[in-house]
Amino acid sequence: MTTPSKWRDLRRFTDARIALGRAGNALPTAAHLDFQEAHARARDAVWSSLDVARLEAEVAPLGLPVERVTSQAEERRRFLLRPDLGRRLAENTALPQAPGSVALVVADGLCASGVQQQAPALLSVLVPALGKAGFTPGPIIIAQQARVALGDDVAEAVQAAAVVMLIGERPGLSATDSMGLYITWAAKRGSNDAMRNCISNIRPGGLTADFAAAKALWLLVEARKLGATGVALKDEMPSHYRLE
């Protein structure tokens, strides 16, 4: 069956699978094979791992201390089966204290390839902006087998005022390169998702690194005034807001 032209035109504006056509009561062969390929790419992305040495080299020009940590999930399969273990630092993890800082955590999450691609560009914009805004940026913590809440353990260990968690987002059928950013003010073990602000879909086909960094800085400035993030802090960043 031929797809009406008005639907074909709409496909230019979205990666969503719309107007795929029909072969009898099923998808056309090409659309079915494309779906299978996308599904396979998404599954592979879940199993991707961070190239830690490369990431360290890419953030080194920022001049911040860099530390490596892992969660209590020793390997990928256990991480996927036991989300609770991915939320806790491995036993006996020692991190240097940096009271009052903004801890920056780069974590593999559910798509290491996404954070590998997006984190260096965002940090290169955000870190200088933090200093100009009166924050003390760093250290940078590279975390493997990590969930979002692992940042709470990090913040408590280094005595940070806030933690910014850059983490690979769950891959979908149209994106396997997406990164999320979570900000938690006064984070500590036991903090919950209602205490965080999230910026999602950071990737070339979504939010740019520059825009995401600007939004993160705006949220941190407002969090410092309010003393809180999450449901207490509404994202009302002006449309004209830009980093200097």
Q: Give residue-wise pLDDT tens across range 174-216.
A: 678 899 999 999 999 999 999 999 999 999 989 999 999 999 9
Biggest distance spanned by C-alpha atoms of the chain: 65
Which pLDDT tens digit goes with each residue over 80-97? 999 999 999 999 999 999
SS3 70: strand
Query: How distant is the alpha carbon of residue 38 from its chain centre?
Result: 21
The fraction of the chain above a pLDDT of 70, given in percent, is 95
Q: What is the mean pLDDT of residues 11-30?
A: 78
SS3 208: coil
Confidence (pLDDT) at 173: 67
Domains (range + CATH), the chain: 52-232 (3.40.50.11240)
- For residues 125 and 62, give the distance between their C-alpha atoms in angstroms, rounded to a whole number: 10
pLDDT of residue 223 exceeding 70: yes
Confidence (pLDDT) at 225: 97
pLDDT averaged over every residue in the chain: 90
pLDDT of residue 43 exceeding 90: no
If you ran DSSP here, which 8-state letter would residue 97 be given? -
- For residues 10 and 6, give the distance between their C-alpha atoms in angstroms, rounded to a whole number: 7
Q: What is the mean pLDDT of residues 16-31?
A: 78
Whether residue 28 contacts residue 22, with contact meaning beta carbons closer than 8 Å, is answered with yes
β-pair type (179-185, 162-168): antiparallel
If you ran DSSP here, which 8-state letter would residue 23 be given? B
- For residues 41 and 35, give the distance between their C-alpha atoms in angstroms, rounded to a whole number: 10
Residue count of the chain: 244
Confidence (pLDDT) at 38: 66
pLDDT of residue 170 exceeding 90: no
pLDDT band at 3 (very low <50, low <70, confident <90, very high): low
pLDDT of residue 40 exceeding 90: no
CB atoms within 10 A of CB 117: 18
Confidence (pLDDT) at 4: 54
Confidence (pLDDT) at 194: 97
Confidence (pLDDT) at 122: 98
pLDDT of residue 78 exceeding 60: yes
- For residues 48 and 107, give the distance between their C-alpha atoms in angstroms, rounded to a whole number: 12
Comparing 91 with 13, the larger pLDDT belongs to 91
Confidence (pLDDT) at 5: 64
Comparing 116 with 8, the larger pLDDT belongs to 116
Q: What is the mean pLDDT of residues 103-126?
A: 95
